[in-house]
A and B are shown apart, each in its own frame.
Chain A
Amino acid sequence: MINLENPKKFQGLVNMTRQVSEQMFRPISRKYDRAEHVYPKELDGLRAVLEGMNEGDPGGGVSASGGRGNKVKEGNVNGGNVSTVLSVAEACWGDTSFVLTMPGQGLGNAAIAAVADDEQLARFGDKWASMAITEPHFGSDSAAVQTTAILDEEAGEYVLNGTKIFVTSGERCDVVVVWASVDPSKGRAAIKSFIVPRDNPGLELVRLEHKLGIRGSDTAQFALTDCRIPKENLLGSPEVDAKKSFAGVMQTFDNTRPMVAAMAVGVAKASLERTFELFREAGVEVDYDRPAHLQTGAVAELLRLESDFEAFRLLTLEAAWMADNRKPNSVNASMAKAKAGRGATEIALKCVELVGPLGYSEDELLEKWARDAKILDIFEGTQQIQLLIIARNLLGKSSAELK
């Protein structure tokens, strides 16, 4: 039966995450926005707490790495995907950059969890793994990978060469999951992912980016120069299978899009809540019964933003709920990501405008959230890529027809 409230069974998890957000993240949020590239050492203390939370609820917890699959159950399921979007939203209400740089919870961990074999899980399961996909010459076009991984049969090693950019937690992680082509002549089917330990001499940290927002999370550029790794570090099958291979690596994104949407929910919620508070202090109340246009312009605008927020919050929950119930959710995941990414950016920016000079100043976190929010409409598939995915699906078009 239809019910769109947050499930009661995850209320404890949400409350706990809220505590972490209020008491750990918010107090140091501004500090690491200013001290870009400095590791927020306070997060180390959180690692133990998080592991406890994740053990209590193996499917969920606070992480950017996405929900894991559920066991098939009868009837309506609220599982790891729903609990993860709820807790990620709550954590990003605190600070998005800390969620992105959560120790041991990198995007690479999602890839390892999804495709690693037992032996690899034993070696890397507890490592903090970042993900290196993007290269200087491409962003959305993930099939354009130029980094190579050539097998040296004699040594039983892959030799990696190339440049990787925009690697979240690149400096802080233990291992980097690198996308590289085992045979550039074979196109996207030859793209595989490899686990490269951070201390490999062939992996050089070139620089850390200076960014608009999410400054608490480091973003690295790597140069791979004759970087040798054991061939056992290849994730998934070494076969170059034109049908399955690339789709396999892209599948990681099906799980992570609702998570990024959940991040946007958290940032937008933070901005809206604070703006409501400041309005109240200024003596402006919202009346939900009276037509919006008969109230002040500021209230009418806030109501518009709040309604938009409600729409993408529920789209996000819907996408996660579909995943939990094993309903195909590729379109819904993209709808949530597209709407939440642009919605959070608009809301956070508009809240700065509505609050005015105070909202723009560093006295408030509103301006920081407005800077943080923008990345959520870009990474894990830009707004435009999401719209492409949705349109191709609804219209029944191939990527050759609808470019």
Chain B
Amino acid sequence: MSVTNRGLAVGIRALTRFAGMDVIDRLGLRKPSERVLRRATATGFRTAGAAGRTFRATQKLASARRQAPETASKAKGLFDLTPTDDQQMLQEAAREFAAAEIRPAAEAADRADATPAELLDAAAELGIASLGVPEELGGIVEERSAVTATLIAEALAHGDLGIAVAALAPGAVSTAIGLWGDADQQATYLPEFVGDEPPVAALTIQEPTALFDPFALGTVARRQGDGWTLDGVKSLVPRVADAELFVVAARIEPQNGSGPRTGLFIVESRTDGVTTSPDPAMGLRAASTGRLHLDGVRLPASALLADGDDDVYRDAIALGRIGWAALAAGTTKAVLDYVIPYVNEREAFGEPISHRQAVAFTVSDIAIEAEGLRLVTYRAASRADRGASFRREAALARRLTADKGMWIGSQGVQLLGGHGYVKDHPVERWYRDLRAAGILEGTLLV
């Protein structure tokens, strides 16, 4: 992956702007917006999708543009855990941003059910919503790299998982269109993501049903004339009330003997039949999750990505799981970094509790499982970059995210005891957020 001058400029501009500024002053608790009030007082109240802009192709593309496949890692075929120089630069920027901006804002954002707009704008300026946009369309990176996206997601989630989801959600849509959109879809939507005001957007898979299966969706797309009609409900969609653009997964009704398949549809929030409602959950509060309701939503034929190719959908699911695993890798490391000083400082029976094996061994196990999760996640992402199969590896990363990620979240609270259970410390938030990481589908795309 090579970052163009523009990308460098954007990243450095953002960093310079933040350096030395007073975090509280600049980001301070946003006044509860109308939406937040609505969320708190009238759960279930439905509103129309965000008014949103008009997406219009401003240039004609002869063919779809794709980022070049990542090539550097194919060179020698050696085992290596060192990111490229460009990746390190982006990773470093994301880490600094997470430490200086995200972590200090996390508690308030969790309580407010929203991430301050200024913080999300600043995150967007880092270029994270346009990593998947081909260079010809204004993107900042030449090569497609799931590893780069993984490193950034991990770094942001070390600050806060919920805010990371809010910040990364639009990038899932631009990456999907960058990877699978045709020339018209790309020309219509992608330039907006590299503009001054990139749209809020979300890729939505999951639905509020027990034993949810992403390969047996309740949301249905029916052929109607030239276009499609969508019906269904999507749940836990980040920033749903503000989103102008969605990529929605729907089961395509079989016709003319074609087998069952699932398609990804581009849906603009202004479309008739699109409504949203709050869907507050155990965690991810900073991502302002909500439901997306689709009632007889008419879409043009051009709304379907990749012609409903089933492999594309399966890849999308796997890339989403790698994204969640990356978030879990960042948050579990945050747990480790938080409990180490705590157990060294906290005293019981006349000495630091870290002098007890029951406590110390738990710290060791957190370190072991967090590192294992990180490595398995990296492997899945690096295989995607190399054009190798990666769905099995993504499944393994997801299993670890659900099992070990949650275990670490739980141990983080346990080590702090009663203090871990109250909001003076972030571990209770991480406990709630880590439960999401092993469950949610889509939403992110590395």
Contacts and interface: CB of A to CB of B under 8 A. Distances in A.
B77 A5 contact: yes
Contacts of A318: 81, 371, 375
A79 B369 CA distance: 26
Contact of B73 (A1, A335, A394, A396): A1
A72 interface: no
A304 B373 CA distance: 13
Interface string B355-381: 101001101110111011101101101
A1 B386 contact: no
> For chain B, which range describes its interface: under 10, 10 to 19, 20 to 34, or 35 or more residues?
35 or more
B391 A288 contact: yes
Nearest to A334: B364
B31 interface: no
B240 interface: no
A394 B364 contact: yes
Contacts of A292: 395, 399
A3 B74 CA distance: 9
By CB atoms of chain B within 10 A, which of A9, A307, A310, A392 has the most?
A307
Contacts of B368: 315, 335, 338-339, 390
Interface in A32-86: 76, 78, 82
Contacts of A308: 372, 400
Interface of B: 72-73, 75-84, 87, 147, 211-215, 314, 317-318, 336, 340, 343-344, 354-355, 357, 360-361, 363-365, 367-369, 371-373, 375-376, 378-379, 381-383, 386, 388, 391-397, 399-400, 403-404
B360 A3 contact: no
B81 A321 contact: yes
Give the secondary structure class of A's interface: helix
A289 interface: yes
Contact of A78 (B78, B87, B400): B78
B340 A394 contact: yes
B395 A3 contact: no
Contacts of A339: 368-369, 372
Contact of B78 (A7, A290, A294): A7
Contacts of B214: 291
Nearest to B397: A307
A2 interface: yes
Contacts of B213: 290-291, 294
Contacts of B78: 3, 7-9, 76, 78
A387 interface: yes
A342 B412 CA distance: 22
B375 A9 contact: no
A354 interface: no
Contact of A317 (B75, B79, B367, B383): B79
A323 to B, nearest CB: 12
Nearest to B1: A1
Contacts of A314: 372, 375-376, 379
Contacts of B318: 289
A400 to B, nearest CB: 10
Contacts of A2: 73, 80-83, 87, 147, 378, 381-382
A395 B396 contact: no
24 contacts: A1-B80, A2-B378, A2-B381, A3-B79, A4-B375, A4-B379, A5-B77, A5-B79, A5-B386, A6-B79, A7-B77, A76-B82, A288-B391, A289-B318, A289-B391, A303-B395, A306-B396, A306-B399, A310-B393, A312-B372, A314-B372, A315-B368, A338-B364, A402-B357
A308 B407 CA distance: 13
A31 interface: no
A289 B87 CA distance: 29
Nearest to B313: A289
A395 B343 contact: yes
A363 interface: no
Given A1-B72, A8-B77, A307 B403 contact: yes
B355 A394 contact: no
B363 A4 contact: no
Contacts of B82: 1-2, 76
Contacts of A317: 79
A338 B371 CA distance: 13
Given A78-B79, A307-B399, A314-B379, A288 B392 contact: yes
Nearest to A390: B364
Contacts of B386: 3, 5
A311 B211 CA distance: 27
A311 to B, nearest CB: 3
A397 interface: yes
Contact of A311 (B76, B376, B395): B376
Given A4-B79, A4-B378, A311-B400, A289 B372 contact: no
A119 interface: no
A307 B72 CA distance: 27
A332 B374 CA distance: 13
Given A2-B147, A7-B79, A307-B403, 13 more contacts: A1-B83, A2-B80, A288-B392, A289-B215, A289-B314, A289-B395, A292-B395, A312-B372, A386-B364, A388-B360, A388-B364, A390-B368, A391-B354
A331 B394 CA distance: 27
A397 B355 contact: yes
Contacts of B344: 395-396
Nearest to A400: B355
B2 to A, nearest CB: 12
A218 to B, nearest CB: 33
A311 B72 contact: no
A3 B399 contact: no
By CB atoms of chain A within 10 A, which of B78, B378, B392 has the most?
B78
